[in-house]
Structure formats: structure tokens, C-alpha cells
Amino acid sequence: MNHQLWAFIALDEARLRAEEADRHHRAWRSLEGEPSSPSRLRRSLAHGLAAISRGAAAVARKLDGCIADDLGRSLAPTE
């Protein structure tokens, strides 16, 4: 069988599936409307958790820097 025919059939099938997915996505978006309050709550909690995580990372970087300085001083040759 011709390989170009298989490629054409595969491309046509992919196009059909993309159109179907687009129709489903448009239908879902039309039903969605305004975001519900649970999604706002989740978003707020996610932002809060991200802020805590960034703060913890900053503290860890600062501690790593202090430990690296101490380690450098302890490994330095003494005379």
C-alpha cells in the first residue's frame, strides 16, 4: 500500500479528532461561566502556599550560604 495514502488518512483522522476536541472545549467553556468560589479558594490557598515555599527556600539558601562560609573557614589551611 502507498505510504502517502497512510499519511493522508492519519492526517485526516487527526484533523477530525482536533475538530471534535475543539467542539467539546467550546461547549465546556460556554457552560463554565463565572469561576466558582471553591476555585477562588483553591487559588488563594495555592498563592499562600507558594509564598510560604518561597520564604522557606530563601531561608534555606541563606543557611546554605552560612554553612558554606563556615565550611570554607574550617577547611582553610592554618599557619
Joined grid coordinates for residue 49: 502556599
CA distance 17 to 4: 20
pLDDT one-digit tens code per residue, 17-72: 999 999 998 888 777 665 556 778 888 999 999 999 999 998 888 888 777 666 66
Tally of domains in the chain: 2
Residues 51 and 17 in one domain: no
Residue 75: predicted pLDDT? 64
18: domain range?
1-33
Three-state DSSP state, 78: coil
Residues 23 and 50 in one domain: no
Write the CA distances from 39 to 28, 36, 44, integer angstroms: 16, 6, 9
